[in-house]
Structure 1
Amino acid sequence: MNIRAHGPKLYIMKVLPIDRFLNKAVNSELFYKLPNGWKMSVKHITTLYAYRQLIWQLAWSEFKMRYKNSVLGYFWSLLEPLLMLTVLYYVFSHIMKMQIENYQLFLLLGIIIWNFLSRATTIGMNCIVGKPGMIKKIYFPRDIFVISACLTALLMSVFESLVFVLFMIYFKVPLSVYILQAPIILICLFILSTGLSLALAALNVLYRDVQFIWAVFLQAGYFATPILYTLEVFPENLRSIVLLNPFARVIIAARETIIYASPMQTGDMIFMGVASIIFLIIGYAIFNKIEPRFAEEI
């Protein structure tokens, strides 16, 4: 049994089977034969796992702070997507005459996914500059702030997803076996958002303009990504460019597997997987490059 202190609280952590597995992996003969870059990655994963309770505590604390002193509290997580859906559905179905099967669900799922990206990157981008005391006085892996920020966004999306489930039941949309592919899409979405958040969090320490530039990108991306309409709305010569956006593929794949009972396209799966790895590698490269300057810049 390990005892680990985190600030004023003391956690007693049980040694789980996965702890033993990670310890054996790091101390194995095969581990020492790995290239140095791989060794550092494996060691960092074990370090992050050791701080899992702190990551969760930071995520849950941030989630609760979002609704502190709010009259409706957590109910806002349910109300916000409903209000957005109501306005957008009226505009695009009644005024612009958008004809899409199960358009309410089509629209709501796109909103939930984009909300997750927006919150994960916005909270993650400000997680370093917003905690100068902890950054300067306490040492632990700084990326746990970014990971916990993405977990906070995930918690908010879980509440929003309850609305989506209720809509699925109300409109009697049957589930298919292809919904089992949804976790793959969710994992890719989380990794993509984490990679972006790592880069944004580090760059925001050096250049505060980043937060304003990213806000513009999010607004533009909302309309440049097939959230409100299908991919077919775009001119044929632009569709391949739209699909270079991995979040567009995430939204399309999620709709196909969850709403329309269709399998995820192999090309989409490969693209999302490769993009997730690239985003995470680049995000960590930027984060690790700037991290030594965090204390002096914030």
Structure 2
Amino acid sequence: MRVLLPDLPEFRALSEVGERSVPGCELAYYSGDHVPEGDADGVVLWFASGETRDHLLALPGLKWVLTLTAGIDHVRNRLPGGVQLYNANRLHERAVAVHALAGMLSAARGFHRYRDAQGRHEWASPASIRESRLISLDRARVVLWGFGRIGRNLEDLLRPFDVFIEGITSGTTDTERDEALASADFIVLILPSTQDTRGIVNREMIDRMKRGAWLVNVGRGNLIVRDDLIAALHSGQLAGAVLDVTDPEPLPQDDPLWAEENVIITPHIASTTTDLVYRGASLTRDFLIDFQQGHEPEGLVESWRKY
């Protein structure tokens, strides 16, 4: 089985003799300016430019692709027919859940406002920060909109705060969803970008939310209609937002979201940790060994063509 991997030291180690090697696989390595010639049974897709990605997906003999991302936006509609697609939710789920919790805690305690005051060299009291609303997560009501692996990890992290947690899934009725939104102090978006979810958080949906709630988005930026979000922040319908993802990315310098005092923006780094590449290579090794041993690897995306 010939497989193409990112040309990074952690992945190069899979070719070396030792405990991290993958016996029985011919491993080749691609970079931004080089894709090895010849057929390939599989491709592990990560850190590739659009041009390199399209080159890899067009390789002759391709049977499967493992994208070491949770989302598949960059692959959908580009994969040839008959090629199986796998993703790596499990590589990112814990870090994304931790990031969401960190954002919620920062929002609850107003860290963003105090960081702004620090930049002005001000010793700010709560009373001196306009519209300060310092709260606690204890006994808060939290809605996890998209209750998959990341949502379950976040649920575990929230348990010590004695919060009331409700998950919204594809099986949740509109009535149940609206009742949950109407009572939530925090609404965490963990949805993928699909035809059904793009723009789902619009003015109408925001009006169904509890006044003064916080919105946390670690899903995809295009879930939210930006202008409707800003209007809700100005009216007080939403107290604030924590956004690890935006639409577009990167966010343009003149985008009005930058000026919103109660918006905390991080540059799509929720899953980033210092050992991410090492963990990605380890996941790839386990994935390839499963193939070699005749087992179905984890992460098959069976309904990707519906996206």
Q: TM bucket by the smaller chain?
A: under 0.3
Structure with the largest fraction of helix: 1
**What is the TM-score of this pair, normalised by structure 1?**
0.26
Structure with the largest fraction of strand: 2
Q: Higher relative CO (CA 8 A, sep ≥ 6), structure 1 or 2?
A: 1
